[in-house]
Structure formats: C-alpha cells, structure tokens
Amino acid sequence: MNTYSPEELGLDSPAEIHANLNPPQLVEAALRRGEGKLNTTGAVVVTTGKYTGRSPDDKFIVDTPGVHDKISWGKVNRPVTREVFDALKKRMIEYFNGREVFVFDGLAGADRKYTRKFRIINELASQNLFIHQLLVRPTAEELMNYGEPDYTVLCAPGFKCVPERDHTHSEAAIIIDYEAHCILIAGTGYAGEIKKSVFSTMNYVMPLEENVLPMHSSANMDPETGESAVFFGLSGTGKTTLSADPARVLIGDDEHGWSEDGIFNFEGGCYAKCINLDKDAEPEIYGAVKFGSVVENVVMDPDTRELDYFDSSLTENTRCSYPITSISNATDKGTGGIPKVIIFLTADAYGVLPPVSRLSKEAAMYHFVTGFTSKLAGTERGIKEPTPTFSTLFGQPFMPLNPRVYAEMLGEKMEEYNTKVYLVNTGWSGGSYGTGARIKLRYTRAMVTAALNGSIEDAEYRHDDRFNVEVPQSVDGVPAEILNPRETWADKAAYDETADMLAEMFHENFETKYNDMPEEVKKAGPRKL
C-alpha cells in the first residue's frame, strides 16, 4: 500500500513506501524481512542489538533563538546546532534511498482537543508495528483527513553516525528540533527511543501551548465515579504493574496530560517490562503478549518458541508493546476525570524511606521536582544494579522546560481540586540493597488500594521528622512494622546513619538544582537529624 509519494514524505527515492499498514500486514512484513520471529502466542519477538535501553548521552535538542530561553539546558538537555541537525537529516534521507520505508500516521493525545499528529517514518516494519500499537490510532475518518503532520520522526537503526563527521557522541543519535517539528533517531534499534521522543515533544508543547500538565505517569480510574488516580515513577518502580488493577479501569501506563477537563493518555498502547513476568502475579500484562504485540530482547527457545521471561542474558530491560485494548479492563477512550489521588513511586535502594507517606502541597512539589528513586538494571545502558538517583519530575530525560514550570502547575491543580498525594516506596526494607529485601508487591498493592479508596485517611499518622512526611500507622493487609522502616532494620544505628545520609543527599540535590523554588517548598523536604 503506497499512499504517499517520496516528495510528500520529504524523502528522495525509497524503493517502496508502505503507509499505514494494519498489524497483520506489519507482522507479515517484519517476518518477511527477517526482523523477528513469532512466539507461541503470535507475538513478534525481536532483538535490538547493541542498544537494549535508552541512550541518554546520545540525545540532543536543536538550539535556536526561538527555543533557547525555554529549555532547561544541562547534562540532560544538550544543545546541537541547526547545521548539525540539517546535515544529519540529509544523510539519513540519502540512507532511505533504495530501501523499503514504513510510515505510520499516528496521534499523541487521546483527548482530541489537545491532540498532536505525529508521522513516523521507519526503516523497520517491526518498529512501525511498535509505534502503531503505542500511539493513538486514528479512526478511518481521521486518517482520511489527516493532512500534514504536526511532527515528523525519521527512524533508521541501520544508519550509523560517525561522531567525527556528524558531531554526535556515538553511532547513535536522537535529536529533536522543536522549531522544525522534526525528530531524528539514528543508529539504535531500541524502539523506546521513538515513544520517548514523542513524549519529550508533548512535554514541551502541552504547557506552553495548551496549559496542560504533562506527566510521566500511569493512570486508572474508578469505574463508577470516573475519578482518576495518577502514578508517577521511573521505569521499574511499578507504574505499569500497579495501575493494571482489575478493580479499576486502566487509562494508560506511561504518559498523560492533566487539563481543565481531566486527564488523558498521550498514547494508545503500553510498553511493559517483561523481566520475571509471572502469569499469576501480573495476569493482565502476561495475557497481552499475543498477536500484534512486539516483544523485545526476551530469550525464546528456538524449538518450542516459548519465551523465558526469567532469562536476563540479553538485558534486564526486556519489554513488550501492545495496544491498550489488550488489557481487558482498559478504557478505549483514553480519558478520565480529575485525579482524586496521586501516587509518587520510588524504589529506595537504601531501604530507609517509609513504604507509604502523605505529602502536603509543598512537599508534593518538593518531591515532584526531586524525583528520587533508584535506576534499576537495564533501563539505561551501563546500569547493572539499583543506582540511587534524582530524576527531576520522575522523568528528567523527557522534560525540556524549567522544572518549576511543571511543579507550579502541579501545586495549582492540587489546590484547585483538593487532590491527595502519597509517596510510595516500592524499594527495599530491612536494609539497603544487598542486605534487605524488596517490599512485597502485595503490601504495596494494599497501601495503594487504601489510598485510592480513602481508608488510609482514617489511620493515625506519625510525623517523620527526618523525611518530613506523615506516615500512617496502620493499613489493612500490611504488617504494622513494615510501615516504619527503622523497625525492620536489625541494626538501628545503621538505619539512622543511612537515613541521615539520604536526607543530606536530598538537601544537597535540592540546593544545587532548585534554588529558585519558593521558600515554603524548600522547607518541605527531608532534613538530617
């Protein structure tokens, strides 16, 4: 199916253009081209080569006068010149010449009031299938009237950058030009770079053009009231798992916007981690691995075609992408009401944060910009074990504007809608990583359920002076000692020393990065005793 000429796509002379194929056609193309194999459930199983996670050191933003003063430049948002971008784009277009090209015209933003159109041009059919499942899929009428896209993405894993020539850090490059409305992804086969580039673009556009708060979050809602809950957190903290609650309706697992009308999913699919995926523990995600889904870097037996989710020999960051409709309790509308509850998820590798605590508006703004967690193995190249980190807004790699912009929007919305915020630690208890144990999922689920149904507000609370949060002293289904982490440590002095160290890390990080935040927010954070 060729519905576009090369000129319409901004290309020169590709051998064949396959535009807006359906999943069966893309599956057939991926198999024909040897990009992957089918497992026993019909999912396309692929390996992504050298890059099995995001490559943050290879990401750049084109620095132009129109965007310069809006971007929070630094180690995350690195500048590159328009000349470098244009030269690389020209070479990538030349690379597409004589090759098959796969095009998907998708949407970002389930609420059509705020939607942006993204045209994805892929070298690989499997990656085109991936983004077809991940973005919002236009209706037949919307596709017929699609017109020009708001943004175009060129993705060519086979094009290897030459740093000396292309002014990149490696053979890979992910470059966003907000003014030219174009994104280049070269040299990496990790499909997550496509979805996160779209997310980074929405995080730039939504606050500036729509007064919408973009959120690196999953979300679900009460099936009766429509009130929603939002789960913030980096990869591996439990966003996907905890939002896939059979008692609630799933809105989305990773990217959302909060407007005056409620929340809406930026995507139309899910990108779930598969490492140690268990049918009994996570039946919804397990069942979503079926025809039309794309499985990345999961080891498959060549004879039986069975997947071994417990084999991390390729990477800890094994993934599966699938349309959100593969989750039985998901809404196909991708929208929900005003959030009643917000959950900040953190995986504390030090094992000293309470497993659940309530935050004031100021404390919520503090922890929002701070974004403390532990990067888990495999989510980025080079991460082999949990590594404590501060990731601004629980999504620093994808947030181009000044953090204060997002934090103030959150505070204003909390106040306007009386939204409750809780900090939930899904990390370690009884000791730090290597000594303690990961907090049991069933306990975390019980705490989240209590927050969602409001019963957690009936508990007696203890103020934790060190971490400056309110800690409930009872939650149904959770042993009382778990709620106070110091009680789970055999060596109480070691707990105090470790907790003081983490509190000081919070203080130093905040003073270094966010000194322009209001004084009342600064005072809402942890403090060394």
Residue 261's CB is within 10 A of a number of other CB atoms, namely 15
3-class secondary structure, 214: strand
Output the pLDDT for position 1: 45
Domains and CATH numbers, the chain: 6-212+271-326 (3.40.449.10), 338-522 (3.90.228.20)
Averaged pLDDT for residues 256-268: 97
Residues near 410 by Cβ (< 8 Å), separated by ≥ 6? 213, 364, 365, 368
208: DSSP letter: I
CA–CA separation, 30 and 126 (whole Å):
5
pLDDT band at 434 (very low <50, low <70, confident <90, very high): confident
pLDDT band at 381 (very low <50, low <70, confident <90, very high): low
By the 8 A CB rule, do 517 and 365 touch? Answer: yes
Averaged pLDDT for residues 420-441: 94
Answer yes or no: is pLDDT of 387 > 90. Answer: no
By the 8 A CB rule, do 18 and 100 touch? Answer: yes
Q: Name all contacts of 64-68 with Cβ < 8 Å and 24+ positions apart.
A: 64/177, 64/179, 66/178, 66/179, 67/178, 67/179
CA–CA separation, 162 and 443 (whole Å):
49
Tokens 């105090």 belong to 496
Q: Which of 326, 341, 222 has its CA nearest to residue 272?
A: 326
More confident of the two residues 380 and 158: 158
Averaged pLDDT for residues 243-271: 93
| Lowest model confidence (mean pLDDT) among 73-82, 163-172, 271-280, 387-396 | 387-396
In 129-171 the beta strands, taken as DSSP E runs, fall at 151-156
Q: Which two tokens stand for residue 245?
A: 């609650």
Answer yes or no: is pLDDT of 341 > 60. Answer: yes
By the 8 A CB rule, do 21 and 27 touch? Answer: no
CA–CA separation, 87 and 186 (whole Å):
13
Answer yes or no: is pLDDT of 322 > 70. Answer: yes
pLDDT band at 528 (very low <50, low <70, confident <90, very high): confident
How big is the chain, counted in residues?
Answer: 529
Strand-pairing partners, residue 213, are 258
> Residues of the chain with pLDDT > 70: what percent?
97
Q: Which of 367, 374, 376, 379 has its CA nearest to residue 347?
A: 374
Query: What phi, psi does 201 have (nearest 5°)?
Result: -70, -45
The CA angle 75-359-347, to the nearest 5 degrees, is 50
Strand-pairing partners, residue 121, are 103, 154
228-232 and 339-346 strand pairing: parallel
Q: Which two tokens stand for residue 249?
A: 């309706």
> Residues of the chain with pLDDT > 90: what percent?
88
- For the stretch 175-231, pLDDT in tens is 999 999 999 999 999 999 999 999 999 999 999 999 999 999 999 999 999 999 999
What is the sign, positive or negative, of the torsion defined by CA atoms of 26, 32, 38, 41? positive
Averaged pLDDT for residues 449-459: 96
pLDDT band at 377 (very low <50, low <70, confident <90, very high): low
Tokens 């995600």 belong to 285
Residues near 461 by Cβ (< 8 Å), separated by ≥ 6? 358, 470, 471, 472, 473
Output the pLDDT for position 110: 98
For residues 96-119, one letter each, b for 16 or more C-beta atoms within 10 angstroms of the residue's C-beta and e for the rest, the string is beeebbbbbbbbbbbbeebbbbbb
Residues near 229 by Cβ (< 8 Å), separated by ≥ 6? 219, 220, 221, 243, 248, 339, 340, 341, 342, 343, 451, 452
Output the pLDDT for position 284: 86
3-class secondary structure, 327: coil
**CA within 13 Å, CB half, 11:** 28
CA–CA separation, 215 and 395 (whole Å):
8
CA–CA separation, 121 and 103 (whole Å):
5
| Lowest model confidence (mean pLDDT) among 211-225, 361-375, 386-400, 513-527 | 386-400
Averaged pLDDT for residues 6-32: 97
Residues taking part in catalysis: 54, 196, 216, 235, 239-240, 254, 319
Q: What is the mean pLDDT of the chain?
A: 94
CA distances from 193 to 131, 172, 528 (A): 10, 11, 38
Output the pLDDT for position 383: 52
More confident of the two residues 401 and 389: 401
Tokens 């039986």 belong to 304
User: Residue 266 corresponds to which amino acid?
Assistant: F
CA distances from 341 to 230, 380, 413 (A): 7, 29, 12
User: Residue 101 corresponds to which amino acid?
Assistant: V
Q: Which two tokens stand for residue 262?
A: 């409620």
Q: Which of 123-137, 318-332, 503-517 is the most confident on average?
A: 123-137
Answer yes or no: is pLDDT of 507 > 70. Answer: yes
Answer yes or no: is pLDDT of 382 > 60. Answer: no
Answer yes or no: is pLDDT of 347 > 80. Answer: yes
